Structure formats: C-alpha cells, structure tokens
Amino acid sequence: QSALTQPPSVSGSPGQSVTISCTGTSSDVSAYKRVAWYQQFPGTAPKLMIYEDSNRPSGVPDRFSGSKSGNTASLTISGLQSEDEADYYCTSYTTTSTYIFGTGTKVTVL
C-alpha cells in the first residue's frame, strides 16, 4: 500500500495561511473519520496536531485546523508563525485495520 500523497513543501509569510493536502483512496482517507496530522521538528518525536479529521487536542493553537473532502484531507495553518516551520505528516486508518502515513510536507516561513 503506497503512502498518502502530500506536497513536498509549502511556504508562506508570517500571518498568511497555508494549506497542506493529503490524498488517499476510498480504502483509507474517505473510509473513516480517522485522519490525523503530526508536526515534527528535526531530531524530535512527532506531535499530534489534529485527530478524527478535524479535532484539535488541548494545547494545540486554534490556528491549526483540519478538514476533509472525499479522498483528500487538508491541514490549514492560519496566521502562520515562525515557530510553525516544521515537517507535517498526515495519517489515516485503513480498511485492513492498518494505518498509513503521508509522504510529509516541509512548511517554510518566509
């Protein structure tokens, strides 16, 4: 099973909004409400940012939001800040009771 497809990189100026897409299939992204997003800084473990497509864990700034349409999920960072510069990964539960990660997206704050 191939990884979910994400753009390799996105960039934006401070204060702008950026959106990262995560494209899968009817066997994963659109099959369940179990898409999650993770933020990772170099040398550290990933951190959960969004779960169940659009829910935000406590402590995650509300400028991070998730959505989904068909086979594509999206993470939007509104009001981009310098500390948001990191790698972001989506993941989804699948119809074979497994999980699959996205290819990862590097967010650069200009």
Partner 1 sequence: QVQLVQSGAEVKKPGDSVKVSCKASGYTFAGYYIHWVRQAPGQGLEWMGWIKPESGDRNNAQKFQGWVTLTRDTSISTTYMDLSRLTFDDTAIYYCALEECSGGHCTGAFDIWGQGTMVTVSS
Residues at the interface with partner 1 (CB under 8 A): 1, 3, 32, 34-36, 38, 40, 45-48, 51-52, 55, 57, 89, 91-93, 96-104
**Phi, psi angles (nearest 5°) of residue 78:** -95, 145
- Smallest gap from Cβ 42 to partner 1, in A, equals 10
CB of residue 45 vs partner 1: minimum separation in angstroms? Answer: 4
* Residue 3 beta carbon to partner 1: minimum distance, rounded to whole angstroms: 7
